[in-house]
Amino acid sequence: MSVRHALLALLSEGPKYGLQLRQEFEARTGEVWPLNVGQVYTTLRRLERDGLVESDDDGTEEGPQRGFHITPEGEAELATWLRTPPDMTSPPRDELVIKVLVALALPGVDVRDVVQVHRRYVVELMQQWTRLKEDAPEHDVGFLLVVDAELFRLDSVIRWLDAADGRLARLAADAKDAPEPAPAPSLSPRLRRRVGMRR
Amino acid sequence: MSALELRGVSKVYGDGPTEVHALRNVDLSVEAGMLVAVMGPSGSGKSTLLTIAGSLEVPTSGEVLVDGVPVANMSRNDRARLRRRSIGYVFQDFNLLAGLTSVENVALPLELDGVTAKKARVAGMHALEELGIGDRASHFPDELSGGERQRVAIARAVVGDRHLLLADEPSGALDSVNAEAVIRLVRAACQRGVAGVIVTHDAQLASWADRVVFLRDGRIVDQTMPPPGPESLLSPGATS
Ligand SMILES: Nc1ncnc2c1ncn2[C@@H]1O[C@H](COP(=O)(O)OP(=O)(O)OP(=O)(O)O)[C@@H](O)[C@H]1O
Ligand SMILES: [Mg+2]
């Protein structure tokens, strides 16, 4: 999350003080992203330097009492940022994928058991998030959206684990039928790098 | 005493070379007020577990107890009454009666139970409204979308004074907003003391349950631990 753009968004509603910005940021993100005062002031100074916000007074006063407003350049920057898709082309180094791949390569490890351990852990995490969602007031949309995002992210992990499990089950069934041992799974160097595996 | 208990339940379909072990020695108990979710791949025995829990089918071995009473010891009549009065069942393919409107489908179990037609209708309407399909009350099942049909089936299962709510893929035909409305209704029933079991592929739906049980090849292979308080998610550094 870009603190810079979050502050611009808050200022686009009207002029605000530094302290107020911090409180509102935390309230809007359902207090899931704590922010320290230092971060707020550093970011505001950079925004000011870049001409995206201006301080309401002559700059003699520092600290929580200093007010800021957004400039037209700031508004334009915010509008562009909102519509610019974040970079999702290169997947993050996914530790879970790596663990399952390693389990696949190790003799004597039941990969499906490894998958189940992770599946249970992720479902337990989802239970906790869902509890939060259940108890949250309906009007707290910001918080509910944050929780939904987390639930969908974890859900996609479960789906991947389920798909992996399905493939492994089919592989095991085929191996039982076929007299030949199934060839050892291998990954091209390019793919290895893509999932972040080191040799 | 558990509202529902399965003890060493096994189910074998067919015999000889076509024999299928759908369930193998399953133990499961669900307290009143608890919601349990059953997850597992297709063919792992989820629906079989549910039909046996709902006494729609008999286990090959093992026993099922509802409110501490073994179902196998009940008379045919008692078992029929148990199914009608105490168990709300949502079938994977909904099982609505084609000749009845939505609200009539929902009200039917209440009427069969001796509630006046008028009262049953009011309760039925209320459940439909809660699921956002009050305006479809006088439609027949073949005039409803898949998701609407599913919600009618849910409404029918939660109306009245049930002890046990059994739902097979209750969100299969629903988008996430409607799936959430459905599961909130199920949770509300559990908060009134109903014991619930839902079968689902959907981890988001399952995560509403107090406990999630994982089936594989007819066996319970794992289950979630009671979750710690959600506060742990909000401690600084828990999310990055
Ligand atoms: N009436 C039946 N006769 C024979 N075999 C059956 C019968 N009902 C179910 N089975 C078999 O028992 C196994 C378990 O079926 P079940 O319907 O419980 O699976 P499930 O976990 O609900 O799957 P899905 O997620 O696809 O609904 C399957 O292999 C199925 O083919
Ligand atoms: Mg099924």
Gap between the Cα atoms of A146 and A179, Å rounded: 51
pLDDT over 70 for what percent of chain B?
94
Listed range (A34-48, A82-96, A182-196, B40-54) with the worst mean pLDDT: A182-196
Decide: B72 and B108 in contact? Cβ < 8 Å.
no
Q: What do you get for the CA distance between the two ends of chain B, in Å? A: 43
DSSP A92: P
Q: Tell me if B141 sits within 8 A of B97, measured CB to CB.
A: yes
Give yes or no for residue A198 having a pLDDT over 60. no
In the block, tokens 């479902």 appear at: A123
Q: Which tens digit of pLDDT belongs to each residue from A97-121?
A: 989 988 888 888 899 999 999 999 9
pLDDT in tens, B150-201: 899 999 998 887 889 999 998 887 888 888 988 998 998 999 999 999 999 9
Count, in order, helices (H) and strands (E) of chain A.
8, 3
Q: Which residues of A touch B202 (CB under 8 A)?
A: 155
Ligand nearest to the CA of B43: 1
What pLDDT shows up at residue B236? 45
Query: A113 or A173: which carries more pLDDT confidence?
Result: A113
Residue (of A156, A148, A154) closest to A126 by Cα position: A154
pLDDT at B87 over 50: yes
Query: What are the chain B neighbours of A145 within 8 Å (beta carbons)?
Result: none
Q: Do A33 and B222 touch (CB under 8 A)?
A: no
Per-residue pLDDT for B239 more than 90?
Answer: no
Question: What is the model's pLDDT at position B229?
Answer: 63
Contact B23, B11 (CB under 8 A): yes
* Cβ atoms of residues B53 and B197 within 8 Å: yes
SS3 B4: strand
- In the prediction, which pLDDT does B172 show? 81
- Please give the Cα distance from B240 to B237 (Å, whole number): 6
Question: Which of B176, B187, B207 should be substituted to probe chain A, the one whose Cβ sees the most A Cβ atoms within 10 Å?
Answer: B207
Identify the pLDDT of residue A92: 67
pTM of the model: 0.81
Query: Of B194, B195, B189, B146, whose CA–CA distance to B171 is shortest?
Result: B146
Is the pLDDT at A181 greater than 70? The verdict is no
- Six-digit token string for A61: 């006063």
Question: What is the spatial distance between Cα B147 and Cα B125, in angstroms, rounded to a whole number?
Answer: 17
DSSP letter string, B156-204? HHHSSS-SEEEEESTTTT--HHHHHHHHHHHHHHHHTT-EEEEE-S-HH
CB-CB neighbors (< 8 A) of B225 in chain A: 124
Distance CA B57, CA B235 (A): 48
The reply to whether ligand 1 has any atom less than 6 angstroms from the CB of B55 is no
**Euclidean distance between CA atoms A104 and A168, whole angstroms:** 9
Nearest CA to ligand 1 atom 4: B13
Helix (H, G, I), strand (E, B) or coil at A164: helix
Residue B10 pLDDT exceeds 90: yes
User: Is residue B204 pLDDT above 50, yes or no?
Assistant: yes
**Fold designation for A3-83:** Arc Repressor Mutant, subunit A (1.10.10)
Measured CA distances, B158 to A16, B126, B140 (Å)? 50, 11, 20
| Position with higher pLDDT, A62 vs B75 | B75
Q: Which of A32, A33, A124 sits opposite B224 (nearest CB)?
A: A124
Only one residue has tokens 């603190």, namely A3
Closest-CA distance, A181 to chain B, in angstroms, reads: 23
A120 and B222: CB-CB below 8 Å? Answer: yes
| Mean pLDDT value across chain A | 83
Q: What is the pLDDT of residue B117?
A: 93
Q: Is B51 in the pocket of ligand 1 (CB under 6 A)?
A: no
If interface means Cβ-Cβ distance under 8 Å, which residues of chain B face chain A?
39, 41, 184, 187, 201-204, 206-209, 212, 214, 216, 221-225, 227-228, 230, 232-234, 236, 239
Alpha-carbon gap, residue A9 to A24, rounded angstroms: 11
Percent of chain B with pLDDT over 90: 67
pLDDT at A185: 56
Q: Determine contact: A128 vs chain B, CB below 8 A.
A: yes
